[in-house]
Structure 1
């Protein structure tokens, strides 16, 4: 037996011992470990080498486009085929990864109430379409691990009290203390469900159509390991663990971020790393910043965590013209050690989360941000606190409309403000995730909100491919301008070693109206000073504040212009960004 295989068996068993400590399970942890390892098709012959610790499976070339499988549709072919054609036509030279949001049969929440994890939604395409996309792009898929649809076969069996799934779901009795539970919804936590064995109270963190799994049952864990193996076989290389923070429950606690949840992630990382070493796990934990960072573990949990505090802080910066809070947050962020990184984004299929701004913006500042977004057509989703009080949970708005003005109102600088947001995000430490409706500068979709009665639909437009191509062919439309300018920025980014996700980052002190940071490549050969005017008036950058080395030549990578050091300062136009580098590689 190889040392690597022996270590794998011992490590998986240790994870299981921690997970099921104090829980009665039908098999020993050793037996469960062997079963999980077999499911991943790992054996003494194939397992010859242990994963190299602290290894980065990413570079400055990695950009992930976030999209639904049907964000772009055509009358003549399946949406996944249309998506693949769009990617190849418009972004193949600048974007190398794609996150296709849940592409499985579902009953609600635009895919996040999964009916069947093992098949592709027929309205989108099939597994061959998924495999085709994964052959050209790094494919990121959701593992909707906390809950599934109440219309799934598993939940049907739960109701019948027989067959696979009959014991998969978390239920409680009247003695279970739920008074401290933290969750992002206002609906009742428990759903009374009539089963063959009587009424059972089923736990529903998000909605009554999304029923939570019971991970105290090893069969649930085994089912998800089998799902992971299937996704690997179809080309998935990035796993997004959806809503994973809520996975483990314990009476009398918040039922969020519990230690056994972290241990489940460690177990999944171990199995995935041995099965496909270049795969990575990203945890989706829309929670306060300090809690979010715990999902790195000691470089043994998530390879990457969503940088959830970035969207509210960056939008707040650009609508107030004051970068104080963004700068303070950036200075507080620990550098991600090798083997881990941040996943940066400023727009998504959901909204601008406000929980990650807790402790970073005070209540008055959050209220001002909410009011400003509402004045630009945004909507607000709420959550219920212990005791019944409601609090804003997220702002639902398209990013292009979120940045159409400032706290003073809408103005004519919306596109410059919008591009500035991306110039900042693309330069930060971490892997950029770019939402398709930001790439295309899609505005608020009120018709879709009316049709679905869901606030989040405001930023989930479905484009007709012919209409979209017509818009993109006209270089005066906001969609064409945004695509062209974003592609220009990405073409620059992917050639800069100083933009490696783990390259050094240092926050610059340039006052409240200029936001800046310095990046240095891992080999220390390239430096880039990233400076943005985050206001609606001109700002002066004083050369002595950034201390460029006089023996080097310096260029603004965005314009290609050389920076003349004998000038004492230079002017940035409203929302202008410069990437000042000692090497000009474009």
Structure 2
């Protein structure tokens, strides 16, 4: 299966208009469509729709709940499952719960983390990182009507709900079932890592998060067993496996989880032209439970934070702080020789962290006119498509859309440069493909579909590199192994003969599925062109 993610209005217009594009998606090979937040948000600013004012109604400019039901039906008729965001950590301060709390309702006040003075907020903030230090510093906001300090992890208009209150769990269980009745098949559990608060910690990835997810999943399995949960847990490598379940929670929490680590390592490899850090870091993650899968991606709606674990970098002789600084410099275009055209998002002066905004095409060099841009774009897609899991394409990446240079023209977006990589869909360009990106991506998708080794259920092995420029990913299937070999450099590289021997691929039947040819062997090794991928398998004599 292939996924696709988009803002409904920027992709097509209304929900009804999205339905008219179902054939386009299906022709691309899409079987899963994630539409970004479309439930009623507060008036702008609303964090791109993640400040929800009402979970039970659709944003008026997009349509109605009936339109949502109709869209789900249309998509299903094309073999496409609909995924929607469910914001679990917070609601807009205009949400009925918050309005009631401000009006003095003690029951609804207990839905939130409220403190009468700064004693507890100061104690918590001693260990809390800031999510948006540039425009939303701190994690608590004073509200006059509430007469208290309310927890606001993200923005002052997004009030964190208190998941230690059983009534909150019941509210969200009901919301899930109502949306499932409209035809929503997958719920992206937004900001799930932040749900549980514990003094003296960073209040992320707490064990209770997984207990809560399991409780919600149990309700869904009873009343709507076809519904899946996708964890939006953009966390460090050590914390990520728990969102698919470990120990007693294995296979009993979320069904899908973002492989943020893979995305980060793709960009790290392209900038450094070196796979050693990526190979080591990816080896540290265990295989997900057999009933679950990763969601893999090159770009999404959000910025890129350099989630490179210090211990992973040091294990391969890299200074983690220097490497993260290099990646920010490279992708903001300030490093000498960089072909990237990204923007710095949220520079944390205290830690030095700088996240990056930018489209796939602009970060890979297409906007700069670099000759290697298109091969790099297709290489990034090839890595994600061959790694396993559910690969998801961000809207417009199939066309190679560059940064939206007019992103700040909309006053509602002017303070958030992530809108630079959220352009409106360029339908006029959908059939032209001047760079060959659409054709190349469609080819990779078609080839992937033909190979049983690349099914999501087949385990993924990342091997130690023999050449620091070549990533080696092995997928073992009853039909025989497949080796995805990726050259992340602008020089010719080789797949060592020993690697082919170890996999039993040193045969006359050796084929490269990407090129559709039998690769020429030189001393038993396979040549890889610059920025090229080969999917090697035994195709028979």
CA deviations 1:243-299 (Å, max 9, x no partner) are 011111133332222222221011112122222333221211112110122222332
**What are the equivalent positions in structure 2 for 1:176-191 lying under 5 Å apart?**
176=120, 177-178=123-124, 179-186=126-133, 187-191=137-141
Tell me which residue corresponds to 1:141: 84
Query: Which structure 1 residue ranges, 5 or more long, are not aligned?
Result: 1-61
Q: Distance in 2 between matches of 1:219 and 1:238?
A: 23
Tell me which residue corresponds to 1:30: none
Tell me which residue corresponds to 2:406: 447
Q: Distance in 2 between matches of 1:383 and 1:183?
A: 11
Q: Distance in 2 between matches of 1:346 and 1:326?
A: 14
Cα distance 1:309–1:566, how it changes in 2: closer, same or farther (>3 A)? closer
CA deviations 1:77-129 (Å, max 9, x no partner) are x4223323333125445110001111112131111111110011121123333
Tell me which residue corresponds to 1:89: 24
Given the alignment, which residue of 245, 269, 277 partners 1:317? 269
Alignment partner of 1:562: what SS? coil
Q: Distance in 1 between matches of 2:220 and 2:308?
A: 28
Tell me which residue corresponds to 1:543: 497
Alignment partner of 1:353: what SS? coil
Q: TM-score, normalised by structure 1?
A: 0.81
Tell me which residue corresponds to 2:119: 175
Given the alignment, which residue of 303, 311, 322 partners 1:364? 322
Cα distance 1:358–1:462, how it changes in 2: closer, same or farther (>3 A)? farther
Tell me which residue corresponds to 2:317: none
Tell me which residue corresponds to 1:220: 168
Query: Does residue 103 of structure 1 match 2:38?
Result: yes
Q: CA offset at residue 432 of structure 1?
A: 1.0
CA contact (8 A) 1:319 1:403 kept: no
Tell me which residue corresponds to 2:52: 114
Tell me which residue corresponds to 2:93: 150
Q: CA offset at residue 405 of structure 1?
A: 8.0
CA deviations 1:10-44 (Å, max 9, x no partner) are xxxxxxxxxxxxxxxxxxxxxxxxxxxxxxxxxxx
Q: CA offset at residue 441 of structure 1?
A: 1.5
Q: CA offset at residue 230 of structure 1?
A: 0.8
CA contact (8 A) 1:343 1:430 kept: yes
Cα distance 1:549–1:252, how it changes in 2: closer, same or farther (>3 A)? closer
Q: Distance in 1 between matches of 2:509 and 2:30?
A: 29
Tell me which residue corresponds to 1:381: 345
Alignment partner of 1:502: what SS? coil
Q: Distance in 1 between matches of 2:366 and 2:428?
A: 27
Q: Distance in 1 between matches of 2:143 and 2:483?
A: 58
Q: Distance in 1 between matches of 2:353 and 2:522?
A: 50
Q: Distance in 1 between matches of 2:409 and 2:329?
A: 21
**What are the equivalent positions in structure 2 for 1:327-346 lying under 5 Å apart?**
327-346=279-298
Query: Does residue 483 of structure 1 match 2:422?
Result: no
Given the alignment, which residue of 474, 484, 487 partners 1:533? 487
CA contact (8 A) 2:52 2:87 kept: yes
Query: Which one is further off, 88-97 or 440-449?
Result: 88-97
RMSD: 2.4
Tell me which residue corresponds to 2:361: 400
CA contact (8 A) 1:70 1:79 kept: yes
Query: Does residue 462 of structure 1 match 2:397?
Result: no
CA deviations 1:278-334 (Å, max 9, x no partner) are 322121111211012222233222222211112221111012211111111122221
Query: Does residue 72 of structure 1 match 2:36?
Result: no
Tell me which residue corresponds to 2:537: 581
Alignment partner of 2:186: what SS? strand
CA contact (8 A) 2:10 2:423 kept: yes
CA contact (8 A) 1:437 1:459 kept: no
Tell me which residue corresponds to 1:259: 207
CA contact (8 A) 2:6 2:34 kept: yes
Q: Distance in 2 between matches of 1:128 and 1:441?
A: 34
CA contact (8 A) 1:139 1:238 kept: yes
Alignment partner of 2:450: what SS? coil
Q: Distance in 1 between matches of 2:492 and 2:451?
A: 28
Cα distance 1:164–1:438, how it changes in 2: closer, same or farther (>3 A)? farther
Alignment partner of 1:394: what SS? strand
CA deviations 1:438-469 (Å, max 9, x no partner) are 22322111311353221211111123xxxx33
Given the alignment, which residue of 38, 63, 66 partners 2:2? 63
CA contact (8 A) 1:184 1:393 kept: no
Query: Does residue 495 of structure 1 match 2:450?
Result: yes
CA contact (8 A) 1:311 1:353 kept: no
Given the alignment, which residue of 527, 532, 537 partners 1:571? 527
Q: CA offset at residue 555 of structure 1?
A: 2.0
Q: CA offset at residue 473 of structure 1?
A: 2.5
Q: TM-score, normalised by structure 2?
A: 0.87
CA contact (8 A) 1:306 1:343 kept: yes
Given the alignment, which residue of 509, 514, 521 partners 1:553? 509
CA deviations 1:532-555 (Å, max 9, x no partner) are 111112223333332244557232
Query: Which structure 2 residue ranges, 5 or more long, are not aligned?
Result: 314-319, 334-339
Alignment partner of 1:424: what SS? helix
Cα distance 1:311–1:230, how it changes in 2: closer, same or farther (>3 A)? same
Q: Distance in 2 between matches of 1:356 and 1:142?
A: 26
Q: CA offset at residue 561 of structure 1?
A: 1.2
Q: Distance in 1 between matches of 2:460 and 2:245?
A: 21
CA deviations 1:474-527 (Å, max 9, x no partner) are 232x4xx22222122112212322112231322233311111211122xx1132
Tell me which residue corresponds to 1:413: 372
Tell me which residue corresponds to 1:286: 234
CA deviations 1:401-420 (Å, max 9, x no partner) are 111189xx973110100110
Tell me which residue corresponds to 1:53: none
Q: Distance in 2 between matches of 1:532 and 1:171?
A: 51
